[in-house]
Structure 1
């Protein structure tokens, strides 16, 4: 009988692999399962959600957009900056940033006080700010891609053009950019590098026909205080410009989808928190997260930090190595002696109780044994010789009042009646005490004795 060709080829391949392993070559690592790979690539936000949350800021100048994305990763401090800006509505530019130099905020959040009109927008929806920061931490490539996609739509709708307030430049996309990204990159810069005009626009109309009618973008109206002399340019409105020199020290790097830092500008405005020349790429600082939880597992693992004293908590709870070894030895001894281990959690305790109740013999199962005890002369003699536990019944009667409140009341009334009777005068006769009576009055006119 001839062996099929497929079996022969399989055998040759197996022998070749075995000889390779015998010569010291390690076998290839097992590939991750499809479920694990899918879980690792599962995005936190889909494209529809990203476009919706980025639409209100996608048309900001690149440097201002970078500042907003960095600061959004610290939503608690952004809320504090919003409060400060409301209390100081006239503070803006580099002077405002210097006023908050002593605030315990991240430098990216401090830089936003230079633009109070931006904080007006961010202060209207703190949940949106947190989602924006979570998306940038978890999916920076997708966030940058969504910004470019929205800019392409605004330009196609005729609402994104160069003017006296901004320069709009279209460049070819970097070769390393993923195939799903737009073929070109749109860059927005201030027309005057030292004066920034923050645009305001309605995202429901600035991008043409919105691609997701069920999830339209939210429009956050600006404050009239900063857009008094508004100039409308192709769907975008520009108010008073903000003079800055060093406040905008970040910029979007569209090739790597991250944020570059101008070290010189950064150090000029953050004199108390300077950085080195090699720190020219932004890194999230979890210290300024202020306890706000991270949305995805990767961010939690990467940025989660141990609080002060966390290493001593286990010892404080008694979870040191010696106690763990002692518990293991006790469990081993219980297993050897056939003793059931104690429950280590409430759920395990409930399961043990349910199991014990399930294994308890039913009344119908106990009846044959009871009949056999009655038929057994020795068992019957044992029952007859069992002492009469009258004391036990007396003890039970002492608690009858708990089961029968009416009987307790009757006994109490009986006791009070007996006490009342004992206090009456004729009760002394029954007790054998001498009774003193008053002498009878003497009759007038003669014999005084009783007949």
Structure 2
């Protein structure tokens, strides 16, 4: 019996699906009964979670913006056009903003298993129709196309220029749920949308206020091939800053550049979309890293070095290297052991010079490296000379005290200090 060859890693990864049927049905349950055009753009937009989060924030800040007018207002935003289109429907974005994990899961499932996602939509629609909760109404038109092999259920707006977003309880509208381990989640209408829909929820689908649109919804489904397509004419009419070429319908493709650092869940999706975008470079871009700013900072540092350290020698050092002599005695100007020894010899034996009876610390700028290392400090020899001149001028007028103990002979001579003699009546004795 011939031995079968081991499956390749690529085929093994393809055979191992990220999500099972129950999980995908759970993800699709809240939106499977939306009109095809709106659902297709929700699927596209869910593959860009970071863009969705930004659009949610914008919609909250602009609660009265709806329809085509809202989409035009965000035309200059760097979001994917599928995400821009959703600002036409604040209610939808409010739900997506309240469930970011669901957005991520739906997008991951759509990228990894698009055929399974399409099959889930049709399966759930068939269940809702069988339960008597999916039918043509004043707001929507349900179209059933039967072939020898499949049944396709499409949902379209009754008026192509007015779209109604349905609200429903998945635990009711689909009848008996087939996956107890993955129960569908009920999303009540978000705040501000309760009144127009609350009365109809118990009976199945309910509808809020229609959204007037002309071009905001440009997506759709090619159910025969399980593809999402784009109506080029409608798309270009609204996305004037990001037009595409073509005639009629073209297939949608995920744009990895708009993923903005959100990692892909499975190895197969990473292999398809993460090449040249992922890795450390992608993570840095997501965190706001800008190589151009780094270059500007480096040029500024070099310019500062030239001004403060004398030019070529300072600017030629490696980035991050301390200035020459900055960590050595004598500051930037010393830079050698001989310089350190010379400074050490010039210091007085007591390391301090007394002034008005209190010692002052030695010049720390010459021996300590800090943020101002390299800036010109007073010449130590000049300081010493000034001290000697002061001593000569004082002459013998008064007893001299050193900074160490206040008695003669305790160290190098310091400035003369005259102290007042207390009166005898005070009980004090002159030292």
TM-score for the superposition, normalised by structure 1 = 0.58
Which shifted more, 30-39 or 195-204?
30-39
With a CA cutoff of 8 Å and minimum separation of 6, indicate the structure with the bigger relative contact order: 1
Q: 1:264 to 1:186 in 2, by over 3 A?
A: same
Q: Within 5 Å, give how 1:349-388 maps onto structure 2.
A: none
Residue 215 (str. 1) matches residue 185 (str. 2): no
Aligned residues of 1:72 and 1:130 also touching (Cα < 8 A): yes
Residue 306 (str. 1) matches residue 276 (str. 2): yes
CA distance in 1 between counterparts of 2:74 and 2:33 reads: 27
Aligned residues of 1:124 and 1:220 also touching (Cα < 8 A): no
CA distance in 2 between counterparts of 1:154 and 1:113 reads: 28
Deviations 1:173-208 (A, max 9, x none): 485xxxxxxx31110000000000000001111100
Q: 1:189 to 1:174 in 2, by over 3 A?
A: farther
What is the aligned-residue RMSD (CA, Å)?
2.3
Deviations 1:137-176 (A, max 9, x none): 010000000110001110011110101000011112485x
Please list every run of 5 or more consecutive structure 1 residues that lacks an aligned counterpart in the other structure: 1-5, 11-29, 176-182, 311-451
Q: Which has the larger radius of gyration?
A: 1
Within the candidate set 129, 150, 158, 1:191 is matched to 158
Aligned residues of 1:227 and 1:238 also touching (Cα < 8 A): no
Within the candidate set 46, 63, 69, 2:37 is matched to 63
Residue aligning to 1:105: 79
Q: Within 5 Å, give how 1:80-99 maps onto structure 2.
A: 80-99=54-73
Corresponding pairs, count: 276
4+ residue segments displaced more than 6 Å: none
Question: Cα distance, 1:227 vs. partner?
Answer: 4.6
Within the candidate set 145, 163, 167, 2:137 is matched to 163
Question: Cα distance, 1:253 vs. partner?
Answer: 1.3
TM-score for the superposition, normalised by structure 2 = 0.61
Deviations 1:20-41 (A, max 9, x none): xxxxxxxxxx855388644321
Within the candidate set 244, 266, 284, 2:213 is matched to 244
Within the candidate set 212, 232, 236, 2:200 is matched to 232
Q: Within 5 Å, give how 1:25-424 maps onto structure 2.
A: 31-33=5-7, 37-173=11-147, 183-230=150-197, 232=200, 234-277=203-246, 280-307=250-277
Question: Cα distance, 1:214 vs. partner?
Answer: 2.7
Please list every run of 5 or more consecutive structure 2 residues that lacks an aligned counterpart in the other structure: 282-431
Aligned residues of 2:256 and 2:277 also touching (Cα < 8 A): no
CA distance in 2 between counterparts of 1:272 and 1:251 reads: 21
Question: Cα distance, 1:42 vs. partner?
Answer: 1.2
Q: Secondary structure at 2:229's aligned position in 1?
A: strand
Q: 1:84 to 1:157 in 2, by over 3 A?
A: same
